[in-house]
Structure 1
Amino acid sequence: MIKLVKSIAILVVIFLAILFIIFVINQTGQAVRLAGEVHPLLSRITLFALLALYAAVIIIPLAAFFSRPTALIPPQDNSGEANVKYLQRLAKRLKRNPALENITVDPAEPASIKEALATLDRIAETRVKDAASNIFILTAISQYGALDAIIVLLTQLRMIWQVAGVYNQRPNLRELSYLYSNVFATAFLATRIENLELLEDQLEPVIASIMGSSLSSLTPTFNNVANIITNSVIQGSANAFLTLRVGVITLEYCSSLVKPEKNTLRRIAAARATTLLAKVLSESTYKVTRAILRATAKTGKRPFIFGQNLINKTTHRTREAGRLTLQKSEQLARDISEAVKRSSHRLKNTFGKPETEEDN
């Protein structure tokens, strides 16, 4: 399946490249003819100038690409001469990292390298959680499919760049190409999408039960709002989980001392992402529920304010009702957030349970 997708992608790239070359040749011919109408010599100058420009556009990036050092790719195993050279290059890079000023890195002592990488792992994990939290909030509130897809993709691309910058402050084009290609191949070119099914079948009932138990004593109006909040949280959770999985895969590729195996890495990423997802939910659910409830309260408050102006401010009950609704909404958001925090261990137990033999 993966080979077929790669073959199709290569054919599409070749086809687009041919179309682009034809377009450039056509536009160049038109520019040369237009210059020739002014003066024959100007047409030759235009032609040579455009050819020089095209050559520079092609040669300069290629020269920069091949002049940079080869990508720092982990060896297949942790023994042999290749592993020694890799540790030496990695230690040299880690010594230049400003986040490791208080850590001594010695290529002859793998323990010091692992300690340095563990420190960077914690920093990178914070970046991943921040990106997933932003995705959770934006997509939970937005609820607009096409826009959400663009937001998720751009955020993940930016997150990969940030994580790479934690381990290597100046990653070259070769390393970025290696990282982006392997991360997206591992994350998206999977033969099974068991993680999405897990989200749909198990995450939704857990969140729904949390929301239901928190809102069971409220009026029917707020129960309708609770359904909106539940759907928003589930949608945001799915996008946050996918972002966390991509982030964990990126982190593993950057910190691994041996070349990761894609299938194993995918499972590790899924397990670790579920643990981080519980933290993201406990920290960000309050913001989503508060935004939705405040919008609902303001929507119900506007007609009363309009009516109050029509009767020349004969009563302040509507304003007090609107203010009370807003206060109850904020309290409700806090209750929901606390309920999610108390139930975060449910998510860990649900997602972190060991795989059965059938899954293998």
Structure 2
Amino acid sequence: MKTSDFDYELPEECIAQAPWPVRDECRMLVMDRKTGELQDRIFRDIYEYAQPGDVFVANETRVMPARLLGAKRGTGGAAEVFLLRPHAGKIATNVSSAWEALVRPGKRLKPGAIVDFTDAEGKVILSAEVIDFKEDGKGERIVNLTTEAFPTLDEAVHAVGHTPLPPYIKGYEGDEEMYQTVYSRRESSAAAPTAGLHFTPELIERLKQKGVRWETVELQVGIDTFRIVEEEDPTTHAMHTETYTVPQHVVDACNEAHANGHRVIAVGTTSVRSLESAWDAEAGELKARDAAHTSLFLLPGSTFHVVDAMVTNFHVPRSTLMMLVSAFSSRDYIMNAYKHAIDSEYRMLSFGDAMFIQ
């Protein structure tokens, strides 16, 4: 097995640059994971595939306004700070907190540099001082955020921050809320669990009325989700670590579904990783987790203990996500499905169309 086995030609014009206007009217490619059989549908047709007693498990995380665009103090040069996660090494207050972040331009933002973020009138709302390099952080910095303009740092970040979009989406000026799922709750991620973008409140309610259960977990999606695997041997790739929570009521719902011959349907690869990470191999059962850490890397040959079907988007070539969906079905079936999608002009990646692998 080589990383190049999960490569494919992705024409730039196939990469969706904006969401479908009505979430559940996008296209959906349905694939039988055991035979590779394909069907072209629209997303709201997932109602037809769901059966009473099935359980949908979605990731309820919300994307932070993590992209901060400002100017370097002293020079006025344009600078960007991309917040990744809170840093545990410094005590936080209402108006000051340390974060791990990506910065640009990296060569000019060394420890001691300060970036100011202003409102439309030029008033400084938020400042970020680079205080250190993050050890083994792939160029990440530790920055200290402070505000004197708002009573809380959270208010200041929301005043100047932007919802970050993947690097392959360029120039989107639409509603940033379209990069949030309709069921998102606590802001804890640097990227959206994009498979869930296709659901509407009405579709979720129809599923519930059919006798389908809707449950949520939380996995804090990191920016590493967009990074491709550089190593040619994927087994040597160091998988990123993310924090996840699987409540007891989700465990109970999954157990009840399986006990009665029904399916657990994961909405997105982050829900898959949450559920499969919560599987206790020694005990042979699914267990509740609270703010646990996972670096689970699902490759062909991996066993899925919890998930029976998956809603997902189309993924970047050579990515860990291509490997995950290939593990859930087969590499050949997935590659054939992607070829069909591109030939049929499906919209690819985060703002693109959906797959339902069952």
Query: Normalising to structure 2: TM-score of the pair?
Result: 0.19
More strand by share: 2
- Pick 1 or 2: higher relative contact order, CA cutoff 8 A, min separation 6: 2
**Higher Rg of the two aligned structures:** 1
More helix by percentage: 1
TM-score computed with the length of structure 1 as normaliser? 0.19
